[in-house]
Chains A and B, each alone.
Chain A
Amino acid sequence: MLKVLTVCPYCGCGCGLYLHVEEGRIIGVSPSRNHPVNRGTLCIKGWNCYEFIQHPDRLRTPLIRKNGTLKEATWEEALEYTARRLQEIISLYGNDSIGVLGSAKCTNEENYLIMKFTRAVLGTNNIDHCARLCHSSTVGGLAAAFGSGAMTNSISEIRDARVIFVIGSNTTEQHPMIAMHMLEAVDKGATLIVADPRKTKIAEFASIHLRHRSGTDVALLMGIMNVILGERLVDREFVMRRTENLEIFENRLREFTPDRVEKLTGVPASDIRKVARVYAAEKRSMLFYAMGITQHITGVDNVKALANLVMLTGHIGLPMSGLNPLRGQNNVQGACDMGVLPNVYTGYQKVTDPKARQKFERAWRRRLPEKPGLTVVEMTEAILDGKLKAMYIMGENPLLSDPDLNQVVKAFEKLQFLIVQDIFPNETIEFADVVFPAASFAEKNGTFTNTERRVQLIRKAIPPPGDAKADWQIITELSTAMGYPMQYRDTYEIMEEIALLTPSYGGILHYRLEEGYGLQWPCPDRKHPGTPYLHRKKFARGLGTFLTVDFKLPEEMPDDNYPLILTTGRTYFHYHTGTMCRRTTVLEREEPEPFVEINPEDAEALEIRDRSRVKISSRRGSITLMAIVTERVPKGIVFVPFHFREAAANILTSAALDPEVKIPEYKVSAVKIEPEETEKILKTEIKAFRTR
């Protein structure tokens, strides 16, 4: 019996856990007692994260599509074939005809390599990953305001906070172990403020719950800031010394009186005043947000508004005082840090900056493209326009996660060549020409970076099944097959290269991570102990800047034909497109079926019974699923989780994008709901019965 310390592969909390190994198999999991995030606890996903690893569905051999079906192949065949096809496509259509998706589920080392492969070997900046779909607004918005976009505090600071303001995050369900710290703070007397249209679980512990209309976050935040300004709660000293451009922003702010905001958001003016006072008055105020803020066409504006709020009150740059985006995936922070984005290299060094580009050109000994590449959703468009011909997808499942799925399907049908590298067959594999079987988190070494910027080691507990290989090995071999040899003994050598090229990771090396529970970047040199909170004394960009934002309605508002607002998200028991958790007995049993949450008033008007089947349609398509009638959603809004391929929520969502960072608006689409005609079902069922 061996116990291997590693990190949970599900969410951005990054809980430390042990995998129990007996006779080469993983037979259990236990939490780490001293880990600063989970301190001896885990959520249901963590407790069950061992089960999918040895699932029979795991991909074990490389596959090549021949005459329409995927056939088993050797690594040599698969690599040689892939290298040849990629080279053909490049010579026929140019470097920018290929797009690559990295993965927030893979390690930093693997993301670095795929980034290097894309830029140095394929010669394009067309690389992106699912962070586009969750937090690109954060990366864009905070980079503009502060100069760096990540959680400013540490998770262990939360329990000593006095005011916790959570907006657009269902923390208890999506970041359970962060919610644990929040609950502890509340037990110790902290005030919890939650702003969310849904009555989420975290809202049950809140002293004030603001249920604003979906998509009116900017207005709500402007209202709060208006009160802070009007009641002289502004931290003048902080604003003067550490920020600029408040004067410009102030004028706009004055337009958002609480009464006007009440009309826009549906939140009583008195509540807005109360929140403003509570939040501004206490220095130890932490602000948290997640997808409810970012997944809008106004995503970047929402984030900028939040940045303005913390600067106005001076609640940043101290322990227990800051602005904290909660990153969803276990390594989405890391994948962004590693430059798996179309416009930056590692550590957010811009591809358009000649100095940065030259540095990487010299290190990699290749000429690198200068123009930023395409984002996830733009890639789909480019395929439809005939500009993008091939894609290489590592550990992602765009055929369930991207908005407006019907369009995505059309695009993928048009691709000439698709490489999918994953641990399980997923929806995307159905379109693949080559499939590379990859190792899971328990079968390789490397690092994940959690939402509080903590870079932690994951350790190999067992060998991968069949012929599967770690993603980093596959990339090195493919690169070598394409005439650009990559040689690393193990992932620690890749990490050393990352440290060399990335100032914020400068002192992060595997041997330092071995003792203890990781290091938080920025960590510029080998002696540096890591940084628990950001923007101390000075913002990353020098002065923090107030960016003027204005209120804009969501792209698609409800109308007579589509009278309800659809918002999408996750449930506690499942994770994203469900490749792992839907292969876990307990998780699948808890939530085996897709559902839509609808308010009792709406349900009554539409004659929908609890647990009955309904059809929900948008301008883009429709799905059929079970209705759950509940007060959790307010009138006029329905909620559908996006995990289920049987009723993929993203068939309904719109691909309306934030103009700056191109994040799709998953949180607002107009839909209509109708009871499924029971007649019809009955008829088909009888027919099916007869033919049996």
Chain B
Amino acid sequence: MSSEWILDKNHLSYWLRQLRKEADLIGPLRKPGGDIVFESIERIHEIFLDLPALIPGPKEFLFPQYEKLFNKRDSKVEELSIKRKRVVFGVRSCDVSAVRLLDRFFLDRFEDPFYSNRRANTLLISIVCNNPEPTCFCAGIGTGPYLREDYDIQLTDLGERYLVQAASKQGIRAIKAYSFIFSKPTRTDYDDQFEVQLSAMARFQKRISLERVRSMIITGKVRDTFWEKVATRCFECGGCVYECPLCTCFTVIDRVFGDEIERARIWDACLFKGFTRLAGGVLPNERMVMRTKRWYYHKLVHYPEVIGSFGCVGCGRCTIVCPAKIDMATVAIKIKALADNEEKIIEQKE
């Protein structure tokens, strides 16, 4: 179920201003030096629309790096779930795909109240990427550059107007309340939308088939020596896990401030040897290669088995944050090269 409208670009700021009356409006802003980051928006005209993939992705609004869970004072426990309403404007399609998978992790079976509260109060407005970055590879996974379903609100830039699609109840409400600035799309609008989609697909520099990589791994064609080489380079920074919109490693800490105890959860990373430290100081994954391999296996083998899709949406963030250049895309391309090589050898034999 999706409802569609046309919004004149001149009316975008009016619409956002109305949304801001009920929620904290967050969007991309350009900082001195040229970085673009998500921030609360003071002046709507400063929103930076021609944006690259942002570091960090919108995961930080649903599952922040440091999140207070509860306070305890004089045996009274106060839960600190954040229920503030938020509109995050300008997220990417891959990010929305990632949030869908995060939902399954945090909400299926056991519902995480902290995530759940934040999620229920966050409206994501995504923009179809008609200018993917060199690091992006969502097209091959089907998680972008545009979405067919399961978004809140999706905008497609058609020049001087946006095609606006809403799929969630929240999303539809955010449009219907201001219906006088939206109009019905016409045939030409859909033609233009189709053209944008085609041209977006054509602009990807990276074409990666994770399926191919997966089959190489599960058929045992990627040797440990390969993983050794990858792992030796790792700086153990944790960046890939922290910034991956799908990674959910965390740890829980308690802090004592005088007579008040605070419990918080903070981002952690399975790539650290201490992540699986056992009593007595035993480190079952002391060798880096075991941890590197585990990250890739989790994303490429276990995820498809358990959830039915890859643990990667092709956002390319790990490519940006990895100082060692052993990110998903680079490693996938290397594994594919192994596969191609193998085929060549077989051909030669024949």
Contacts and interface: CB of A to CB of B under 8 A. Distances in A.
Contacts of B142: none
Interface residues of B, number: 51
30 contacts: A1-B24, A2-B39, A2-B40, A3-B39, A5-B35, A16-B33, A20-B60, A29-B65, A30-B243, A31-B321, A32-B35, A33-B320, A35-B35, A41-B320, A43-B323, A50-B65, A51-B66, A56-B256, A176-B323, A180-B235, A183-B325, A515-B32, A516-B33, A517-B33, A585-B251, A586-B238, A586-B266, A586-B268, A589-B272, A590-B274
Given A41-B237, A586-B268, A32 B33 contact: yes
Residues of A contacting B: mostly: mixed
B272 A22 contact: no
Given A56-B257, A177-B323, A517-B33, A44 B65 contact: no
B36 to A, nearest CB: 8
B56 A27 contact: no
A180 B232 CA distance: 13
A30 B274 contact: no
Interface string B222-252: 0000000000110111110011000000010
Contact of B66 (A32, A40, A50, A516): A50
A35 B266 contact: no
B65 A31 contact: no
Interface string B31-56: 11111111110000000000010011
B202 interface: no
B253 A5 contact: no
Contacts of A591: 274
Residues of B contacting A: mostly: mixed
Given A20-B65, A33-B55, A515-B33, A51 B239 contact: no
Given A585-B266, A586-B269, 17 more contacts: A2-B40, A5-B33, A20-B60, A28-B56, A30-B37, A31-B239, A33-B36, A35-B33, A40-B320, A41-B239, A47-B238, A50-B66, A514-B32, A516-B33, A585-B251, A586-B266, A591-B274
B277 A28 contact: no
Nearest to B282: A611
A586 B272 contact: yes
B255 interface: yes
A47 B35 contact: no
Contacts of A47: 237-239, 242
A5 B40 contact: no
Contacts of B32: 5, 514-516
A172 to B, nearest CB: 7
Listed from nearest, the 5 A-B pairs whose CB atoms lie closest are: A28-B65, A180-B323, A589-B274, A41-B323, A40-B320
Contacts of B67: 27
B236 A572 contact: yes
B273 interface: yes
A33 B35 contact: yes
Contacts of A493: none
Contacts of A172: 235
A20 B40 CA distance: 11
B255 A56 contact: yes
A586 B242 CA distance: 13
Interface in A425-482: none
A1 B64 CA distance: 11
Given A43-B323, A611-B281, A30 B237 contact: no
A688 B224 CA distance: 47
B323 A30 contact: no
A55, A176, A183, A585 interface centre (most CB from chain B within 10 Å): A585
Interface string B302-342: 00000000000000000011111100000000000000000
B237, B269, B272 interface centre (most CB from chain A within 10 Å): B237
B232 A204 contact: yes
* Chain A interface extent, by class: 35 or more
B208 interface: no
Contact of A589 (B26, B31, B277, B320): B277
Contacts of A187: 325
Interface string A21-59: 010011111111111001011111011001100011000
B281 A3 contact: no
B273 A590 contact: yes
Contacts, number: 137
A34 B31 CA distance: 10
A80 interface: no
Contacts of A3: 31, 37-39
B320 to A, nearest CB: 4
A40 B325 CA distance: 12
A56 B260 CA distance: 10
A1 B65 contact: no
A417 interface: no
Interface in B5-28: 24, 26
Contacts of A30: 37, 55-56, 60, 243
Interface in A62-98: none
Contacts of A1: 24, 26, 38-40, 61
Contact of B235 (A20, A43, A51): A43
B40 A44 contact: no
A559 interface: no
A593 B38 CA distance: 39
A256 to B, nearest CB: 35
Contact of B237 (A28, A32, A35, A44): A44
Contacts of B281: 592-593, 611
A514 B258 CA distance: 39
Interface in A135-156: none
A176 B233 CA distance: 12
Contacts of B55: 30-31, 33, 40
Contacts of A38: 323
B240 to A, nearest CB: 10
Contacts of A35: 33, 35
A18 interface: yes
A25 B266 CA distance: 14
Contacts of B66: 25-28, 50-51
Contacts of A516: 32-33
B65 A34 contact: no
A179 interface: yes
A575 to B, nearest CB: 15
B293 to A, nearest CB: 18
Contacts of B325: 183-184, 187
Given A5-B31, A515-B33, A586 B256 contact: no
A46 B323 CA distance: 13
A22 to B, nearest CB: 7
Nearest to A518: B33
Contacts of B36: 33
Interface string B279-301: 00100000000000000000000
A54 B26 CA distance: 25
A594 B32 CA distance: 42
